Amino acid sequence: MTEQKVARKTLSRRQRKSRKKIEIGRKEFFYRGKTMEELASMSIEELIPLFPSRVRRTLSRGLTREQDKLLRDVEKAEHGELVKTHCRNMVILPSFVGKTIGVHNGKEFKRVVIQPEMIGHYLGEFALTRKQVKHSGPGVGATRSSKFMPLK
C-alpha cells in the first residue's frame, strides 16, 4: 500500500470514531402519535384503542384481582422502590414508566426497570423463564474415544 492509501484509511477511521463520539440527543418518545405526558394523563379506557388487538382484548375484559392490586401498588410506589409480583400477564401501562418491578420467573424475581418503549408489552416478556443452554465439553463415557481414558 502506498502512503496516501494508508493516510486515507487512518483518516477515515478517525472520522468514524469522531462521529461516534458526537452526542446524539434523546428524541422525545411517542407511542402511536402520543407523547408520554398525554399518555400519562389518559385513563385505561382512553388507552385501549391505542394498543394492539391482543392487549385491547385483555384490557377490555377488565383487570383481574391480582392485576388491579399490582396497578395500585405500582402507582403508590416511589421512584426506585421495588414492587414484586407473580403477575406476568399484566400489560405495561404508561403509569409504570420509570418504576422498578420484580417479575417472578419461576425461581427468582427478575428486576425490570420499565422504559417508555415497553408500553403495550407484557411483564412476562422481560423476565425469561428458561436459561440459555451452555454446553461444556463431553463427560466421561459420552463418546466412544472417552471410554479408554486413563484413570491416573
* Structural domains of the chain sorted by starting position, each given as residue range(s) with its CATH number in brackets: 29-126 (3.30.860.10)
C-alpha–C-alpha distance, residues 27 and 33, integer Å: 14
Question: Pairing relation of β-strands 30-31 and 34-35?
Answer: antiparallel
5-26, pLDDT tens digit by residue?
666 666 666 666 655 555 555 6
pLDDT of amino acid 31: 87
Contact 123, 101 (CB under 8 A): yes
3-state secondary structure the chain: CCHHHHHHHHHHHHHHHHHHHCCCCCCCCEECCEEHHHHHHCCHHHHHHHCCHHHHHHHHCCCCHHHHHHHHHHHHCCCCCEEEECCCCCECCHHHCCCEEEEECCCCEEEEECCHHHCCCEHHHHCCCCCCCCCCCCCCCCCCHHHHCCCC
The pTM of the full predicted model, rounded to 2 decimals, is 0.71
Backbone angles phi, psi at 37, to 5 degrees: -65, -40
Low-confidence ranges of the chain (pLDDT < 70): 1-26, 140-141, 145-152
- What local confidence, expressed as pLDDT, does residue 72 receive? 94
Q: What is the pLDDT of residue 135?
A: 83
